[in-house]
Structure 1
């Protein structure tokens, strides 16, 4: 028989749930993937209350194998919707005449 005292606690949900993957992880990148697993372990259970707190937790990430993560907050403002130049492998960019 189920404990009735535990039942109300199961129905409660957390007030806020934050799921975050840092920029650059939408595409597979072996180095970022390896770093993110250690970063996620380091900030597990800690409140991410500000961007500075997030960068501080990322920068404090280490591993027993000697991994050290260096992070800094980029407070620059960037125009939205600007796409970078795409260069195709094996093709040269045209030179102005």
Structure 2
């Protein structure tokens, strides 16, 4: 797994733009972890929310910024716990928050 992680880091580091680096990150982590969903959020402490920056497995609305409050959704739960979570079925978790148009 460490070898795979090193490969991912090298690919991300060689990406010419941030959005490409984040896309590589979520795609390769999904493959390495054999999971359906991986997302990267940016924490904005002034506004107390997380902005969805990249995702694989979630439908991100086109032309719309997705922001979740610090106490909202699974990302909020991860932020409060300050540790990763691994769920067999995230759709069944009560903290799940889907994006609404």
Q: TM-score, normalised by structure 2?
A: 0.27
Q: Identify the structure with bigger relative contact order (alpha carbons < 8 Å, sequence gap 6+).
A: 2
The structure whose Rg is larger is: 1
Structure with more helix by fraction: 2
The structure whose residues are more often strand, as a share, is 2
TM-score normalised by length of structure 1: 0.27
